[in-house]
Amino acid sequence: ASRPVADQDLWAQQADNRRKSVWLVAGFIVFFAWLGFGGDWVYYLYTQHLPATQYHHVVPWFGIVMTLVGVGLCRYAWHDGAGRVLWATGAQEVIDPVTDKEKVLVNVVEEMAIAASIPRPRVWIVPDPDPNAFATGNDPATASIAVTEGLLDTLDRDELQAVVAHEMAHVRNLDVRLMTLLAAIVGAVALMSQGAGRWLGFGGGGRGRDNEGKGAGPLGVVVLVLWIVSLILAPLVTRLLAMAVSRKREFLADATGAQLTRNPMALASALTKLDAATAPTRAITSGAAHLCIVDPAGSAINDREGAAADFLGSHPPTRVRIARLRGMGYQQMKREGVPLPDAGAGAA
């Protein structure tokens, strides 16, 4: 017997995320190897015509070291990436809920974990007044779900359940593995690029390397330029990759979350409230924006559609997500014989 369509989507999404996670790690290590061995090549070309009494760069120790650094950063991102993301937001884990809002949150997370047939993720609250939420971790067994204080203050129980179900969908689909790896790698690449920029002199405060490339010939100059351009563009490329990965997964998480709650209108209502909040989620850095249910910075590009928005935006337009969820809700009402609201009420 064939699986239902929803299960087919789940297995396909999990397989796709596993595959992309492997390629992401491999690409990251290859990038660091290029920085190392590319530097070795430039240095070799620069020193090969020097007198025999001077240093000749033969052993590619730059490449060996940088490849090991890439492997180490991937290992760090895999094992500690989720913890670093939570630490960066200042999130506090809810172990023994005390307030009514904490008790409702934990209860909702437990309900949705049962509905999704996965272990209950750890629950965190981010001290930020802007409503937002995200999930992180490597798999359902190590996952965490974090919500801001503003989210708890803004949403009612059904809406909170819908948002938690959306994040639970990311956990079940293994989106969290790929997106957490991306968050850790985006931060590592940005830090590496900034440090290299200061060393080379184009990041401010460093000494210029005016003599680099002299004596290496045209080929050495070309390789050096490509090497420097790679350092400059690496943070931008990784950020754009994270945005593209996130945007494609939000629609499926919306649909899966609506299936878990059987209440797509609740998620549509929650997204409407989140979209109306104008203040940025300051506790969440731009490098982790793709983890959130809505863009924490509120970038205008996320309100647009088309190829440019698909490439540059971290999230699909919220109004499109709301329209799709309302469409799901209307279809559900028709199947259940519930009277449909009029057009004016549906657009409110």
10-residue block means of pLDDT along the chain (348 residues)?
A: 45 70 79 82 81 85 87 81 88 94 97 95 95 92 95 96 95 84 70 55 44 54 72 66 65 89 94 88 77 77 50 72 90 74 48
Instruction: Establish whether 159 is a catalytic residue.
Output: no
The catalytic residue among 159, 167, 212, 250 is 167
- pLDDT given for residue 5 in this prediction: 38
- pLDDT given for residue 213 in this prediction: 44
Distance CA 57, CA 47 (A): 6
- pLDDT given for residue 143 in this prediction: 94
